[in-house]
């Protein structure tokens, strides 16, 4: 029971650049007070889609994002209310493929970035937590601080920087219920809001040339995500789970132009959580799409996380 409880919010994964806070199984279970957690996550995410340059030429593109993230967190208790706080900092390497990476097609030599990404800060509380019946209601707030490496010249077509050059915030509410002795079920919804980025090129050429346009203002509408998870404890030290996600919103425009198509995506996730000891865990996850009608479509998202509690 102790090992299952302390896995909670320390496992949250914030997706960048436009994404949701995907909860892992048991994330909505409130942790005991005064638990410290440290984790290292290694992940790979790939996107594929078309980009239309200056409203004329449509090119197929692929973006791969690899990252290693370090996270430090601590739980607390305010009266009868459990809480958790963490900070996470990634190192990100991006790679561009497809027609957009072909200088003979675009006339532009694009280079993907690598370096420190944006700092993520989070705070969660549980207004309702009944450990006897396994029922929890949690709310959380997240902030993404633009500490990452950023170069406006790497925003032609897509943002190929580790950082996003803007603040972002997320609010989230979640519910968890234990079902019998072996199953757990959870629901969550969140909304993500974005500051404007004043240094973004997008799919634009300078007037009358084949050179990228000068950076302008990127605006992004709020992004909403809904998720559900069912977990099965196959063994006291092993849990398997499946998650379903629906992502909506996040339309964008550059320089006051037309709004892009909103993200309209359904995803699934497969999880394996293994307790190597009461204080050490390894968590594996794989996510992909059921249906994706977005301009840039998510292909694969695989992660390995090592967690240690103190």
Does a structural domain hold residue 284?
A: no
142 inside domain: yes
- What is the extent of the structural domain holding 122? 2-273+294-309
* Domain membership flag for residue 187: yes
For residue 70, tell me if it sits in a domain: yes
What's the structural domain count of the chain? 1
| Tens of pLDDT, residue by residue, the chain (310 residues) | 433 433 333 333 333 345 668 999 999 999 999 999 999 999 999 988 877 776 667 777 889 999 999 999 999 999 999 999 999 999 999 998 887 777 666 667 788 999 999 999 999 999 999 999 999 999 999 999 999 999 999 998 889 999 999 999 999 999 999 999 999 999 999 999 999 999 999 888 888 888 889 999 999 999 999 999 999 999 999 999 999 999 999 999 999 998 988 999 999 999 999 999 999 999 999 999 999 887 778 889 999 999 999 9
In a domain, 286, yes or no: no
Which letter does DSSP use for residue 26 in this model? T
Q: Is residue 289 part of a domain?
A: no
Strand runs labelled E in the chain: 13-14, 21-22, 36-53, 57-78, 81-98, 114-116, 119-130, 135-145, 168-179, 183-194, 197-200, 216-220, 223-235, 238-249, 252-254, 263-277, 280-292, 296-309
The answer as to whether 283 is a domain residue is no
Q: Which residue has the tokens 């915030």?
A: 169
Residue 260 in domain: yes
CATH number, position 158: 2.40.128
Q: Is the pTM of this model over 0.85?
A: yes
């Amino acid at each position: 029971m102790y090992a299952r409880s302390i896995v909670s919010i320390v496992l949250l994964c914030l997706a960048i650049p436009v994404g949701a806070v995907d909860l892992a199984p048991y994330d909505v279970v409130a942790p005991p007070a005064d638990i410290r957690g440290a984790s290292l996550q290694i992940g790979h995410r790939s996107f594929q889609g078309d980009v239309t340059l200056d409203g004329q030429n449509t090119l197929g593109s692929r973006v791969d994002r690899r990252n290693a993230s370090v996270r430090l967190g601590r739980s607390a208790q305010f009266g009868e209310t459990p809480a958790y706080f963490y900070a996470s900092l990634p190192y990100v390497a991006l790679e561009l493929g497809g027609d957009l990476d072909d200088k003979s097609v675009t006339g532009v030599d694009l280079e993907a970035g690598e370096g420190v990404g944006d700092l993520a800060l989070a705070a969660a509380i549980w207004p309702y937590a009944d450990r006897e019946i396994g029922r929890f209601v949690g709310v959380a707030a997240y902030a993404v601080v633009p500490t990452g490496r950023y170069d406006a010249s790497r925003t032609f077509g897509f943002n190929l920087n580790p950082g996003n050059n803007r603040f972002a915030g997320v609010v989230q509410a979640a519910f968890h219920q234990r079902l019998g002795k072996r199953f757990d079920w959870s629901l969550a919804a969140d909304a993500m809001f974005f500051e404007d980025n004043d240094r973004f090129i997008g799919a634009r050429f300078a007037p009358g040339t084949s050179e990228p346009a000068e950076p302008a203002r990127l605006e992004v509408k709020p992004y909403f995500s809904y998720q559900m998870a069912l977990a099965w404890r196959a063994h006291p030290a092993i849990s398997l789970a499946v998650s379903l996600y629906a992502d909506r919103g996040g339309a964008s425009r550059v320089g006051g132009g037309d709004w892009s198509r909103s993200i309209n995506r359904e995803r699934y996730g497969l999880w394996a959580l293994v307790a190597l000891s009461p204080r050490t865990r390894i968590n594996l996850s794989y996510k992909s799409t059921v249906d994706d009608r977005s301009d840039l479509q998510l292909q694969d998202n695989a992660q390995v996380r090592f967690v240690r509690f103190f």
